[in-house]
Structure 1
Amino acid sequence: MPNAVRINPLIGLPLAVLAGTAIPAQARVNGALRERIDDGLAAALISFSVGLVVMILISALLPRGRAGAAQLLPALRERRFPRYYVLAGAIGGYFVLSQTLTVAVLGVAVFTVAAVAGQTMTGLVVDRLGIGPAGKKALTVMRVVGAVLTIAAVAWAVSPKLSGTSSAGDLLLPVLLPLTAGMLMSFQQAMNGTTGMHYGTPITATLVNFISGAAVLLVCWLIKVAVSGFGNPLPGEWYLYLGGPLGCVFIGLSALLVRSLGVLLTSLGMIGGQLVGSLLLDIFLPAPGSVVVAATVLGTALTLAAIVVATLPWNMPGVLRRR
């Protein structure tokens, strides 16, 4: 197995937060694109297709990208990792599709809580099973406390936006999409981290993600077109196509960071980034009707504190470990 460069958590966690800020920006862009073309599948496909073009260019222009691409087929032939790991991008496609299909129904707040809950729960499981490249992580008291505290903090941060939502019964079925998408994201991060380590760079892991994700979305979109036809024409505003490049940021960084931080801490850092990014959007580029209140700011701060709790020294092997 290739030697992995270990990133200090003091550097890795801020990078994970930075990666997470791209997610609400992507959700805002993809949601606007969906409204313009009236087609959630097409919006997700466009997002992935633009991201794929970006990753092809990066892979072709950067020496590390070319070196990683050269390792793609040998890694598959030699079975350095389970071959189905190359389908991790399908999970990303499912997550983006769940954004475009449910945000209009659920609202960003409910979508965020559902996705965060799923991602946090499976982050603990994936780390305990040792699926990611960082190996097994002990299920310590403080890691569990940090995960639970994160879910509570996110719910508090978005609580002011929940008052106008539909009844619980109306939301039950739609909320399953972001919940399951969040649960699968932890596995995607573990798979990407493992493949990126064997390719020698997260660039190739990100490229393969966009290939598989775009392929799955293309098949779904073609079926949709055959049944119900095309949506509206493509809009001319360039910023509506930034969803793909933003996806390159958080997929690439998560594939890099999960080697050192593990799946749970990478997920928690990105969750903190999601709230920070959402808060910044509400302050500087507010959507119609959005407001910034104390609960949003304090809930975001509590989320960042929960990340610190999950990384306290008591989490080291042998300390408060569950047998």
Structure 2
Amino acid sequence: MDTSKGFGFHRPSAGGAAQTTAIEEQMPEPAILGDDEVLDLSADEAAARVSDTLAALDAELVGLASVKRRVREIASLLQVDRARRRFGLTTTRPTLHMSFTGGPGTGKTTVALRMAAILHALDYIRAPRVHTVTRDDLVGQFIGHTAPKTKEAIARAAGGVLFIDEAYYLFRPENERDYGQEVIEILLTEMENERGDLVVIFAGYPDRMATFFAANPGLSSRVPHHLTFADYDHAELTQIAGLMVESEGFAFDDDAHKAFAEYLSLRMEQPRFSNARSVRNAIERCRLRQARRLVALDRPLGKSDLITLTAEDVYGSSVFEPSPD
């Protein structure tokens, strides 16, 4: 029996058919493996890129265990499909259109970027890019305007991922003259015809997305992967804050750690809280207050001064101001 073999698939070029043909001439498809041969999944050079991407996802995002598990399952499915092709087994190209539901600042865009990297590494899409659009990028203002806008967005995303944020705004049943339904009809066609060259991700708040898919069953049937991004709890947000501060070359002192935990408890109860996005904004404002404090010291500054965020920098937030009676 032959020794275990790795993969030898080429990556299609993002530059067009002519370049792809040239690569195919230089790198022919590997021979079909015999029934008594074995294939080492870890020997595939794409597996290393997928592993690195999954590790980056774990490092970047706190929590989200169910989301990370589904991403790993999708990556595993594509790796096994590649192995089946090496043995000449029938493989149906999977449909990988997705729905990301969750509140703001829960990591949907980050996961979309990492998903694109994984799909590209495994030759499912031609480029690891994500083209993000909203209703305004797709829906026209007059008759005949919507189709060209939608097709332009699809063309820009071709070979990669089309990420439609707040997708439910495409459907406005209260307005019979709204052109959003035309976008949905075009997407239905393109998602089926171009599923080997385009992945569409619909994103938005859970309740509105549920209504959106219920009103468009044809669209729902073409989206097999639904990932739910839960809001972060206090402990996770505290961890996220620490990672953000460290990544910027700063550090909370002990009192600042406690102060920021208090800040989160108060801010999470207020309107328009946006999870990690609100944490990042809060840290930016802490840095502004630190800068003002350091300049006001009117003395030479050391490295420790420039790095340290203090409780004073946190407590300066308006969140701590008493509410008016």
TM-score category, normalised to shorter length: under 0.3
More relative contact order in 1 or in 2 (CA 8 Å, sep 6+)?
A: 1
In our comparison, the structure showing a higher alpha carbon Rg is: 2
Greater fraction of residues in strand? 2
**TM-score normalized by structure 2?**
0.23
**TM-score normalized by structure 1?**
0.23
